[in-house]
């Protein structure tokens, strides 16, 4: 079982000292990856429902710092050597796919292949409106953008014909190592699960009970089979509320039984009076080592 830290570019980790302490403590103590979040802007008022809190609103307020995830991860890459870097997630339909493909390939190249691109379709309609991007059909836009980026990463003189992205005989360099960047589909809906099955190298549902996760994984597996893909090749990342309970190995084992490859833990778990390095070492001893021993 792999262990990653999410919400890594928020709170005290948004600034230089905090992000370096977090990244180096996580790397030194066996965490496999760091996962960022994204919002380009924060509307002072919004009617959209934040799906990850019962109150329907994002934690914090409009003064909260949410650094650009790719620039933040580039800074992490420069201060670490092995930990993997991931967006969890970036709001793909808000981005120009050619510009994003270039940025992502550059980060993947400079980090020597440590980067993977977690993407989602977004939930905050007001953000799309502020950016001048249509809210409607953002799912199809997302599918086209994935295809366009993969075409640019895989070779020179690239072609892509889609409704929302189209180009012929264009080249973008540098290329990512191996000519590809893993694309992880984020989201807790059946549409996200189907997209992961059809197009994803990974699937990262942001929430769900074990029963809900099992249903989503079934949907993903069926979509992969329908698309002629092997579901076993799709890496699954998910969280479990019991990971800090009395039986973390049991929680990891339950996730493993559902087919999960990576357990995600909030980065705020590394905060404490003893400091991030000591806190990370404590989590390693209490959770990472026992869970890996149990599930190996």
Task: Phi first, then psi: give them for residue 266, nearest 5 degrees.
Answer: -60, 135
pLDDT tens for 71-83 read: 999 999 999 999 9
pLDDT tens, position by position, 234-243: 999 999 988 8
250: confidence class by pLDDT, cuts 50, 70, 90? confident
Q: Which domains does the chain have, with CATH numbers?
A: 2-295 (3.20.20.30)
pLDDT at 296: 53
Question: CA-CA distance, 210 to 241, in Å (whole number)?
Answer: 10
Report DSSP state, residue 103: H
pTM here?
0.96
DSSP class of residue 274? T
| Ramachandran region, residue 269 (left: φ > 0; alpha: ψ -120 to 50; beta: rest) | alpha
Residue 294 has pLDDT above 90, yes or no: no
* pLDDT per residue as tens digits for the range 1-55: 999 999 999 999 999 999 999 999 999 999 999 999 999 999 999 999 999 999 9
| Matching residue, tokens 């191996």 | 178
Mean pLDDT calculated for residue range 219-229 = 98
Sign of CA dihedral 147, 192, 206, 132: positive
């Amino acid at each position: 079982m792999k262990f990653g830290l999410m919400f890594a570019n928020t709170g005290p980790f948004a600034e230089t000292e905090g992000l370096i302490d977090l990244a180096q403590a996580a790397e030194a103590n066996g965490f496999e990856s760091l996962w960022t979040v994204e919002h380009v802007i924060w509307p002072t008022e919004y009617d959209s429902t934040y799906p990850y809190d019962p109150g329907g609103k994002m934690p914090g307020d409009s003064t909260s710092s949410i650094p650009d995830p790719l620039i933040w991860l580039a800074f992490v890459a420069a201060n670490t050597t092995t930990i993997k870097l991931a967006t969890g997630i970036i709001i793909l339909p808000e981005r120009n796919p050619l510009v994003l493909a270039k940025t992502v390939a550059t980060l993947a190249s400079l980090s020597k292949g440590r980067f993977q691109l977690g993407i989602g379709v977004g939930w905050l309609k007001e953000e799309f409106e502020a950016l001048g991007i249509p809210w409607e059909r953002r799912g199809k836009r997302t599918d086209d953008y994935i295809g366009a980026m993969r075409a640019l990463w895989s070779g020179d003189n690239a072609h892509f014909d889609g409704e929302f992205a189209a180009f012929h005989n264009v080249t973008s360099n540098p290329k990512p190592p191996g000519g590809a960047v893993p694309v992880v589909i984020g989201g807790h809906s059946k549409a996200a699960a189907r997209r992961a099955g059809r197009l994803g190298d990974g699937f990262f549902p942001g929430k769900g009970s074990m029963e809900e996760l099992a249903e989503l994984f079934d949907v993903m597996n069926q979509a992969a089979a329908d698309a002629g893909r092997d579901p076993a090749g799709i890496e699954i990342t998910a969280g479990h509320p019991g990971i800090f309970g009395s039986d973390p190995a049991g929680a990891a084992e339950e996730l493993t039984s559902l087919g999960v490859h990576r357990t995600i833990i909030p980065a705020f778990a590394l905060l404490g009076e003893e400091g991030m390095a000591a806190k990370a070492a404590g989590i390693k001893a209490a959770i990472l080592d026992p869970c890996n021993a149990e599930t190996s």
